[in-house]
Structure 1
Amino acid sequence: MSFSTSRASASALPSAPSPDPSAHPLAPYGWDDDWAAAFAPHLERGLVPGRVVRVDRGQCDVVTADGLVRVDTEFVTPNDPLRVICTGDWAVVDAGGDPRYVQEYLPRRTAFVRSTSSKRSEGQILAANVDFAIIAVSLAVELDLGRIERFLALAWESGAQPLVVLTKADLVPDALGLSYLVRDVEDTAPGVPVLAVSATDGSGLDVLAAVVSGGTTVLLGQSGAGKSTLANVLLGQDVMLVRAARDVDGKGRHTTTTRNLLVLPGGGVLIDTPGLRGVGLYDAGSGVGQVFSEIEELAAGCRFQDCAHVAEPGCAVIEAVSDGELPERRLDSYRKLLRENQRIVAKTDARLRAEIRKEWKRRGAEGRAAMEAKRGRRA
């Protein structure tokens, strides 16, 4: 699915069932019957549910049926960085006590994870239990299609439905130019809705508001992409601080410094995130495959099952590039993200490391054999 400002409709975009606000005090925050069933064993122990709206150095703000409380996370600070409590989690909180504690959290439905910049390439969880992942991209600067593909891979891997929102559409001088930009992103994001919006003239915002009213949405993008402005428009008030982006490259300073979960007046909740300079993949193989689904489909026609789509005979992917059916830029980006993801996974997967070394040796032997044969022909 793909939509531009002029032809998008609220009914055409995906949506999640909205909870009945009268059913439970936490329903506006996403509480539903399935969460209630998962929490039932804890309820019998006198514990109460709450949704994490902000995490800050060993403490977090949790909204419960009795209101917002600040609780300690001492009992849920494991060594595994992917198991630390996160904005969007449904927490199990003690009913009383001073201080109060989060005992644990309910199993996550989805989790948005990226690789950190550390040498150990640990995963960092950015948001949990998300239905939609909005990837905000500014039209004030030249489109970076490779970065969009990277965000999309992480979004698909998380289990959420991605949506690319092209902000600052009013800066594009004409409708034809805007339609070309939307089409470029559509070609980069198969199966993903693409929506051009403007906080200045309001175009596309009614459609976006209809989408986010149906569940939990995380807002992602680089600094200067207009995320805080989008959040303020959706919230109907200036909650998030906004700073101007530089004209030369569209970059701005981080106006959002923590991940905050906010209830939207039209229904649904929004998790705003700081601008992401680095968007490293973390075990996102299936997400990469989803982003480049046309390449995965073409690969089924390759002569060799383990075809690397480089120079193998009978490669359907290379043939599609030669015929102009597949842009070479897409194949280059696909290879790059696959290599990056493989390196990350190999650091924690001994079996995969052995397979990679074996593959390198095989290709090295083939290369040496080819060179020796070439020398023999010359002799």
Structure 2
Amino acid sequence: MNILNNYGLTERFSNEATLYSDFLLARVIAQYRGLYKIVTNFGEKQAEISGKFRFDTTELAKFPTVGDFVMVTCDTNNSNAIIHHVLTRKSVFLRTAVGVSGQAQSIAANIDTVFICMSLNHNFNLSRLERYLSVAWDSGATPVILLTKADLCQDLDEKIFEVQRVSLFSDVITLTIFEENVEQKLEKHLKTGTTSAFIGSSGVGKSTLINRLLGEETIKTADIGKADKGRHTTTGREMFVSPFGGVLIDTPGMRELGAYTADFSKTFDDIEELAGKCKFHDCTHTSEPGCAILDAISNKTLDERRFENYRKLKIEAGYDGLNAKEIEVKKLDRMFKDVGGMKNVRKFAKEQRKRK
């Protein structure tokens, strides 16, 4: 039996792995400060990256993360396996790296669903939710919003309406502390061969929820602290096989999620549409006549808080003043900056076509 099939292995990764016949295919299932836990068809093993990989890799985001399929060598003794290559990711959830200017950090890779967890008490924050949604859509995965601790919410219907209004393209699921049928509410997202990551602030119940889905107390949880802010209980990132199909990734609570790159077309589709109706194509939406966004704010059809959050995220991601096409070019330049940006990629492709 192929153990990796239980860990979301697909034909795509199996085929790419054949390019590295001298190595063994594995998946990263946990990460702890530079060390990794991997699973191969021969079981689990601790791993580290090769010296050559470390020397050649200048970007934090390109180092292995939980969910990556990697090519490794394993000795027969008890030494660590060595990671030599990371296979091409189909999706990756990025955040701005803490303490490292101009770099991104990978939180999870090759994920199909991002469960954005937000509790319906002191943690409730629409601007934070919009931030998570923008980063999640950009990752290549599909975000699903989990509103936890619904039993502690005094104005549940109003809160749900507010969330649905800013997340038209995402499923919204409410959960309570005493939820008995969690798996039924999430079953359409938990399928064999899929990978789901649970993202959110500390204390929103990510680990508790995963424990419920696993049917046992696999992940340690802590009592809620003052002001219901919770405490960090997950210190690394770890993957678990779900009895309902697929695998689940638990991530540490994030006080801040820096938007290194983001997708505004779904999270802020209303604002993007309004921007296209402004009188001037280079409208800054500050004081220009004929600005559709300022008009919408004035007549209360657009929440000023939402627009300010949109503008803040654009500045943070380095997209301020760019249109949709220019943003995509900037994303591609970031992706291919190791080879001189997208212009060099196009030049290389053009030369290859001439040689054929």
TM normalised by structure 1 equals: 0.79
For residues 301-360 of structure 1, the C-alpha deviation after alignment (integer angstroms, 9 at most, x for no partner) is 1111111211111111222222322222211211111122228999xxxx99xxxxxxxx
Q: Which residue of 2 aligns with 1:202?
A: 180
Q: 1:151 Cα shift? A: 0.9
Contact 1:199 1:229 in 2 (8 A): no
Pairing partner for 1:84 from 52, 63, 72: 63
The residue identity in structure 1 corresponding to 2:219 is M
Pairing partner for 1:124 from 99, 105, 109: 105
For residues 214-263 of structure 1, the C-alpha deviation after alignment (integer angstroms, 9 at most, x for no partner) is 51111111111111111101111101111122352x21111000000111
Instruction: Describe the SS at the equivalent of 2:156.
Output: helix
Aligned Cα root-mean-square deviation (Å): 2.4
Q: Which residue of 2 aligns with 1:190?
A: 168
Pairing partner for 2:203 from 220, 224, 244: 224
Cα distance change on mapping 1:41 and 1:116 into 2, 3 Å: closer
Q: 1:141 Cα shift? A: 2.1
Q: Which residue of 2 aligns with 1:262?
A: 240
Pairing partner for 2:38 from 41, 56, 62: 62
Q: Which residue of 2 aligns with 1:10?
A: none
- Partners of 2:258 and 2:233 lie apart in 1 by 21
The residue identity in structure 2 corresponding to 1:316 is A
The residue identity in structure 1 corresponding to 2:157 is S
- Partners of 1:103 and 1:184 lie apart in 2 by 46
Q: Which residue of 1 aligns with 2:139?
A: 158
Structure 2 alignment gaps of length 5 or more: 323-328, 331-356
- Partners of 2:271 and 2:320 lie apart in 1 by 22
Instruction: Describe the SS at the equivalent of 1:101.
Output: strand
Q: 1:273 Cα shift? A: 0.5
Q: Which residue of 2 aligns with 1:234?
A: 213
Cα distance change on mapping 1:256 and 1:149 into 2, 3 Å: same
- Partners of 2:282 and 2:321 lie apart in 1 by 19
- Partners of 1:142 and 1:255 lie apart in 2 by 17
Q: Which residue of 2 aligns with 1:339?
A: 315
When Rg is computed on C-alpha atoms for both structures, the one with the higher figure is: 1
Q: 1:146 Cα shift? A: 0.5
89-98 or 159-168: which moved more?
Answer: 89-98
Contact 2:264 2:272 in 1 (8 A): no
Contact 2:3 2:43 in 1 (8 A): no
Contact 1:320 1:326 in 2 (8 A): yes
Q: How does 1:87-126 map to 2 (within 5 A)?
A: 87-96=66-75, 98=77, 99=79, 100-118=81-99, 120-126=101-107
Q: 1:291 Cα shift? A: 1.1
Cα distance change on mapping 1:283 and 1:198 into 2, 3 Å: same
Q: 1:95 Cα shift? A: 4.9
Contact 1:209 1:234 in 2 (8 A): no
- Partners of 1:59 and 1:129 lie apart in 2 by 19
- Partners of 2:33 and 2:204 lie apart in 1 by 27
Matching of residue 311 in structure 1 with residue 290 in structure 2: no
Pairing partner for 1:272 from 240, 250, 254: 250
For residues 154-192 of structure 1, the C-alpha deviation after alignment (integer angstroms, 9 at most, x for no partner) is 11111110111000112235xxx3222111111121211
Cα distance change on mapping 1:282 and 1:276 into 2, 3 Å: same
Contact 1:244 1:252 in 2 (8 A): yes
